[in-house]
């Protein structure tokens, strides 16, 4: 839930400014890319513009090449959120469906959480085989 406070407006402004500067854009460049006036964007960055509309936030997020959630929170999505929210392929596979995404997450978590003994390597190998079978990826 988005709170209507000056602290949130200031935070939004600092996030927009940081992202714009990281991208190497001026206010004018961002204004052109987002179809929002430079003066309006400047007021957002300074925390002087109260609660921009969702449409304005969407345009800014698109111009800055970030999700609106990131624009509002300043934090990146977790790996799990990213996997579930994006459509992608692995190798020559079709887009990964929900079951394939779950297998991929299980594989990544197994890799990250194992102590790398023979049993854990065997378990990780099983995840890889299952994922490859699900995605119809052939070994080369």
% the chain with pLDDT above 70: 86
The pLDDT tens digits for 89-122 are 877 777 888 888 888 888 888 777 777 777 777 8
The pLDDT tens digits for 4-16 are 444 455 588 888 9
Q: Model confidence at 2, in pLDDT bands (50, 70, 90)?
A: very low
Residue 131's CB: how many other CB atoms inside 10 A? 19
Non-local CB neighbours of 94 within 8 Å, separated by 6+ positions: 135
The pLDDT tens digits for 41-65 are 999 999 898 788 889 999 999 999 8
Burial of 50 (0-12, 13-18, 19+ CB in 10 A): exposed
Place of tokens 């990281």: 22
């Amino acid at each position: 839930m988005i709170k209507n406070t000056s602290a949130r407006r200031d935070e939004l402004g600092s996030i927009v400014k940081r992202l714009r500067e990281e991208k190497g854009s001026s206010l004018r460049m961002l204004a052109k890319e987002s179809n929002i006036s430079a003066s309006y964007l400047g007021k957002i960055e300074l925390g002087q513009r109260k609660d921009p509309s969702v449409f304005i936030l969407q345009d800014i997020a698109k111009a800055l090449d970030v999700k609106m959630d990131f624009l509002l929170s300043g934090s990146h999505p977790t790996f799990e959120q990213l996997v579930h929210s994006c459509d992608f392929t692995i190798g020559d596979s079709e887009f990964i469906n929900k079951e394939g995404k779950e297998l991929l997450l299980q594989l990544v978590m197994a890799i990250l959480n194992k102590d790398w003994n023979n049993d854990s390597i065997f378990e990780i190998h099983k995840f890889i085989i299952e994922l490859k079978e699900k995605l119809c990826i052939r070994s080369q």
